[in-house]
Amino acid sequence: MRHGETFWNREGRIQGHTESDLTPLGERQARAMAGLVADLVRHEGGRFRLVSSPIGRARMTAAMVAEATGLPIEIDARLAEICCGEWEGRLRSEIAHIHPEMFKTREWFFGAPGAETFEDVSARASDWLGSLPPESERRVIAVSHGVWGRLARGVYAGLDRQATLGQDVPQDAVYRLRGGLVDRFDCEPIAP
């Protein structure tokens, strides 16, 4: 699952590794996702782990999941969002004005000076997925970010680059990866 909406999401700022707090809407989204995850945990049964990116917005969302499920939070740096280099903190519209050709696709995430590449983030996601127990024993809740989530789902499902980047990154839905398939569970609509 992705963290709830942040103030920088709302402003259209590029976040990457930079901190931005959840908005009131983001807190409601996080609570809704936490409730959905708690229902799924109860339905699935078994022992679960809760793992979060070290970045604050993901940790805040994970704290709500921990409250709803009673699970302790583990932090794993491999779940961190893409580093956007020199563009972190800048408005997307500002960068799009300077580099309009990049913003025609979702490849722009990888275009900033000092940014991680598609391969860098995919390798982190692949390493994390590969470190998990066999799927038959796996019960892990991951709280992360938009780009990381896209790439992790793409790695898991064996998608090509274009299909991976074309995936949605909602802040009010949870994905389940099981049996080579990716299922999406949407929360109840949340008023802005």
How far does CA 14 lie from the centroid of its chain? Answer: 14
34/123 Cα distance (integer angstroms) = 28
17 part of the active site = no
Q: Catalytic: which of 5, 81, 88, 116?
A: 81
137 part of the active site = no
| Lookup result for tokens 């972190």 | 88
Sign of the Cα torsion 8, 87, 148, 101 reads: positive
186/63 Cα distance (integer angstroms) = 20
In sequence order, which ranges of the chain are alpha helices (DSSP H)?
7-11, 24-44, 56-69, 92-98, 118-131, 146-157, 161-165
Q: CB atoms < 10 A from the CB of 57, how many? A: 29
126/99 Cα distance (integer angstroms) = 30
Q: Catalytic: which of 3, 88, 116, 145?
A: 3
Q: Which active-site residues does the annotation give?
A: 3, 81
